[in-house]
Chain A
Amino acid sequence: MRLDVNALGTFYRMAREGAGLAAGRLTRMTGVETQVGITKLNFMRGTEIRRDFGDGTDRVGVRVELSGGLDGHSVVVFDRESALRIVETLINDAETDEFDEMNRSAATEVGNIMNNGFVDGWADVLETVIDVSTPEFIEGTTVDAFFGDIDEAPDDDDLALLFHSNISAIGTEMDIGFSHYLFPRRESMAQLLEQLRTNEGIEYDKLDGFDRMAEQGAEEVAKTATTLTGIDTSVEIRRLNFVSLEAIPEAVSNETLVGVAFEFDGTPSGYLVFLFDEASAHEIIDAMVPMSPDDGDDEFGEMGKSAIMELGNIMASGFLDGWANVLDTTIDHSTPEFIHDIGSAAIDPVIIQLGESQDFAFVFDTVVVADGREFDCEIYAIPDESDLERALNDLDVDKIDETPTTAEFGEIENT
């Protein structure tokens, strides 16, 4: 199975189109204004999807099976509370907190109309017909309840392509949000990718290999951070996204953040940005330079800045050396640029530069956190598309597990 940017771009348009139609139908049904949040094409492993569901929230879902132009499963997942609030707007009744038969059928109806919205959007883009099965209502807290018996949902180590959107209510007190997952069946997806592909593209297994490599890079970053700061950190989220460039800054917080940015040059070249919230930045500075005069106000002194840049520099080396070793090449990175500004403003220069030659980007999203202490670090690695394709085609997939990511910090934990 091979894929290229054109094919993925069409998939991305499908995801967006579908989310738009689904949001519109929810609005018509409930009278609540809705908006589509970030729509992503995620390449995710089973372990990552499990993390999405890991917080023990009660959820309800409506699931349908697709066949025809696209085979797979489409699942709308609401927080249980959101689903109840939606049901309340539909059935003029007192507040409810149980899914009795009536509520259940109302929720199923809503989920079904949303699923159909997505499916109609995809069918439009693909100019085909997609058949939808009878909807199934699911109530549960774990990932297994929703996806456990879906064959195409990935096992822990498999990389699945899935469409992921969020829709939320706006301008009301009503807090509604839901996630949508599409798991296409592999053969069906391969066939579509083949139709949509306009050039040689990349072998899917290479992308899988590259993602495993990035996983090692992320673990390395967490380990480096722990070594340097003494704060015990771990990787919380890690996924490979394919998104339109505009969606990248929109996914970043509008809060003021502290960051370190690099450009890197080689095969691939691109940009690497580490972003911390202000509290985390202060915590890191305290940990790295305990004697610094930083007293927790908004400004970061010279010592503080250089501590953050030093940490960024070493984390960047850890991340990129991992890539370079597996790709058997050299990737140089620039000196660090410190930034203390609105989060999205720290990313938009990068997408503007890339935007001169591409509309979409693969983004390696990673979030590193610490237990019980402030350390939230978002990492965005955004390679130049043409270089990436070249780098991936040269990738020797068998080499990944045996190559240590850096010499400096030794062994790799392959979790």
Chain B
Amino acid sequence: MKTYGTEPGIPDPVQVGISELVVTEGDDTLKSYGLGSCLAIALYDPDTEIGGLAHIMLPNGDEIENSDAKPGKYADTAIRALLRRMVERGASYTSVEAKITGGSDMFEFESFGDGVGKRNTEAAKRELEKLGVPIVAEDVGGTEGRTVEFTPGTGTLTIKKANTDAGVTEL
């Protein structure tokens, strides 16, 4: 049973951890596990099939020093970094579309104010609006966690919740 490196064929999904972002194209699948109040931002260009997924944890990187070091951590910096990397790879800025999911608020703690998930969602929407990227689908908020998979080739964002009744949603 010798296996050398990753075999071609059906590739395993590439995991996008918290504060990470990955740009790819075609049939590659990007996956983020167990988003609670974190937000998954999927951008893709349907013409070139280039797209990416960001798994952000905080709203505003522009207010933070050194946010360039980890652009995937913040909604605003992650969106710009995704767009830049996609365009560098050949995507056309004007045809890029966005899908977002996550940003739940599972706890009503006093210290959380209006909700940590809500803050992330609002920040992402603000930045996308500013950059003129249309949000073509969203499934945000609520009180449940989500595991998401994104394939740039089809633009499909699959969302799975822990509660089995909710099943799998496709955006």
Residue B47, interface by CB 8 Å? no
Q: Per-residue CB proximity of B8-19 to A under 8 Å, as 1/0?
A: 000010000111
A89 to B1, CA, bound (A): 10
Q: Is the CB of B36 within 8 A of A341?
A: yes
Contact B107 A349 (CB under 8 A): yes
Size of the A side of the interface (Cβ < 8 Å), in residues, is: 42
Interface: A339 (CB within 8 A): yes
Tell which of A246, A263, A345, A353 has the most Cβ of chain B within 10 Å: A345
**Who on chain B is nearest to A174 by CB?**
B3
Main secondary structure of the interface of B (DSSP, over half): loop
Complex contacts, A246 vs chain B, CB 8 Å: 17-19, 57, 73
Given the complex of chains A and B, what is the CA–CA distance between A277 and B89 in angstroms? Answer: 43
**A-side contacts of B110, CB under 8 Å:** 263, 334
Cβ contact within 8 Å between A32 and B5: yes
Give the interface size class of chain B. 35 or more
Residues of chain A within 8 A (CB-CB) of B35 are 345, 348
Task: Please determine whether B162 and A355 come into contact, CB atoms closer than 8 angstroms.
Answer: no
Contacts of B17 in A (CB 8 A): 246, 250
Within 8 A of B (CB), among A250-276: 250, 252, 254, 256, 261, 263, 265, 269, 271
Is there an interface contact between B33 and A346, defined as CB atoms closer than 8 Å?
A: no
The residue in B7, B33, B58, B144 that gathers the most chain A C-beta atoms within 10 A of its C-beta is B33
Which of B21-29, B93-101, B112-120, B129-137 is found at the contact surface with chain A? Answer: B112-120
Across-interface contacts of B104 in A (CB, < 8 A): 345, 349
Given that A246-B57, A256-B162, A334-B109 are contacting pairs, would A345 and B12 also be in contact in the complex, using a CB cutoff of 8 Å? no
Q: CB within 8 Å of A: which residues of B?
A: 1-7, 12, 17-19, 33-38, 57-58, 73, 104-112, 116-117, 120, 144-147, 162-164
> A residues engaging B (CB < 8 A)?
31-33, 88-89, 170-174, 245-246, 249-250, 252, 254, 256, 261, 263, 265, 269, 271, 298, 334, 337, 339-353, 355-356
